[in-house]
Amino acid sequence: MKVTIQPSGLKGAIQAPASKSSMQRACAAALLRKGKTVIQNPGHSNDDKAALQIMQDLGATVTSNEGDYMVQSQGVSPVSEEIFCGESGLSIRMFTPLAALSFQRIIVTGEGSLVNRPMHFFDLVFPQLGVDITSNENKLPLQIKGPLRPLDIKVDGSLSSQFLTGLLLAYASATEEEVEGKPSITITVDSLTSKPYIDLTLDVMQRFGLQVPVNNEYREFTFKTGFPQQQADEVVYTVEGDWSGAAFLLVAGAIAGPLTVRGLDISSTQADRRILDALMMANAGMATDTKGIHLVPTEMRGFNFDATDCPDLFPPLVALASYCKGTTSIKGVSRLAHKESNRALTLQEEFDKMGVDIELDGDIMRIRPGKLVKGADVESHHDHRIAMACAVAALRADSETVIDDAEAVNKSYPDFFNDLEKMGVNLSSDTKIRLI
């Protein structure tokens, strides 16, 4: 699908999309929880749909009622020999350890960029926990057979915190029973990245009555053994607004507002809440109150920002920096290689077409905007965040911008282009905007 965006202003108020980070973790916790869960404000992205299907393949039943999801589960009890994760990195890293709680042999598959992402974490860790695993040279598909036995273990957290999220959830379930001779079990972590996402995982575990480990400065996570779930008739969980998707809306408002973004929790543990820090550093016209976050265009300046713990902010930050006077430096480039595309190189390639110079210097990205952002023909590289970054940068470009493979936004924010259009953006496409 190609979307053409004419230089446009934004006006009005928009509700932030549902957080897929929150939604997918809720699906995993609802699977582990023995009883009924109500998930309110659920997401409907492709990644959310993958998580919903996986939890059903692993034994939960899910029904829809007036927009909410009703989940019944008695823990992991697979009804399928395969789980399909689509292109969701979080789903494969989080649900694979949960599938390993079962005695059943399970095949774990995915598609698109996911088939090329490294999965050596599982090849290294699972045999230490009694799980049989075979992989395609550390990539998909995986074949696993548990059950996972919780033991003291040391893991590398440098590639992604999502692997640790999966282990934490699996250990919370596996330590419900006594472990002979072990009153407690510890996961030791080296070089953990994206710590705020672990905070989100622990928060979801607490809300669902799962055991929350003692967190020793993100280096050790200690579980008691023989620790049953906290019982309640049902858990009602409301999925947060998504700071990752809303970051593009907030930047759009700073470039081409006025715009108000509603439905975001200022105190959220989501890592991408730090977009507010970047906007303040850039001198964006921003105010917050009980009605939402309000943005108006102002003269903005280049800024220095460390995105190591929030690498998904790179694309909206590049769009923001394209309209800032002076050079912007962003740290954390090493976190971008194993995304839906190699995001550092992809951002450099596509924003060069729009007249924005991006220099990659080790772990630092430097953005030097031209006098004007140029309209151009750009490609998403089937990366949802690249498509959205180019769309936001196009709002005040000197001519129209055409985004190829724009349907990539369905991975996380299927209503993105619809929402822009509602706010007054002049855009068109060669097919239906929303393809899910």
Cα–Cα distance between 251 and 244 in angstroms, integer? 11
pLDDT score for 435 = 40
pLDDT score for 341 = 65
Instruction: Give the Cα-Cα-Cα angle 142, 146, 148 (nearest 5 degrees).
Output: 110
pLDDT score for 229 = 85
In angstroms, the Cα distances linking 369 to 47, 105, 209, 328, 373 are 33, 53, 49, 9, 7
DSSP SS3 for 275: helix
> How big is the chain by its Cα radius of gyration, in Å?
22
For residue range 22-81, list pLDDT tens digits in order.
999 999 999 999 999 999 999 999 999 999 999 999 999 999 999 999 999 999 999 999
In angstroms, the Cα distances linking 273 to 159, 202, 296, 329 are 21, 17, 19, 19
**CA proximity to 48, closest of 430, 424, 410:** 410
Predicted structure pTM score: 0.92
Q: Which of 242, 312, 404, 415 is catalytic?
A: 312
Residue pointed to by tokens 């079990």? 185
In angstroms, the Cα distances linking 13 to 29, 47, 115, 261, 309 are 33, 26, 38, 6, 29
Within 8 A by CB and 6+ apart from 28, the residues are: 51, 55, 94, 95, 98, 169
358-396: string of b/e by CB count within 10 Å (b at 16+)?
A: beeeeeebbbebeeebbbbebbbbbbbbbbbbbbbbbbb
Cα–Cα distance between 277 and 152 in angstroms, integer? 38
pLDDT score for 339 = 61
Beta carbons of 10 and 207 less than 8 angstroms apart: no
> Residue 233: how many CB atoms within 10 A of its CB?
6
Task: For residue 118, give both structure tokens.
Answer: 């490294």
Instruction: Give the Cα-Cα-Cα angle 386, 392, 396 (nearest 5 degrees).
Output: 140
> Residue 262: how many CB atoms within 10 A of its CB?
14
DSSP SS3 for 104: coil
How many residues appear in the chain?
Answer: 436
Which regions of the chain carry the CATH code 3.65.10.10? 3-17+242-429, 20-223
**Which class in CATH covers the domain with range 3-17+242-429?**
alpha beta
312 a catalytic residue: yes
pLDDT score for 299 = 97
Cα–Cα distance between 226 and 174 in angstroms, integer? 9
pLDDT score for 230 = 82
Q: Which amino acid is at 139?
A: K
Regions of the chain short of the pLDDT cut 50: 435-436
DSSP string, 156-170: E-SS-HHHHHHHHHH
Phi/psi at 121 (5° precision): -55, -45
Q: Which strands form 285-289's sheet, in the order they lie side by side?
A: 12-15, 259-262, 292-296, 285-289
**CA proximity to 330, closest of 302, 298, 301, 352:** 302
Cα–Cα distance between 198 and 194 in angstroms, integer? 7
Q: What does CATH list as the number for 20-223?
A: 3.65.10.10
Within 8 A by CB and 6+ apart from 323, the residues are: 254, 255, 300, 369, 373, 393, 396
Q: What is the DSSP-derived secondary structure letter of residue 230?
A: P
Q: Which amino acid is at 41?
A: N
Residue pointed to by tokens 């995105």? 307
In angstroms, the Cα distances linking 414 to 4, 68, 180, 245 are 17, 18, 48, 10
Burial of 287 (0-12, 13-18, 19+ CB in 10 A): exposed
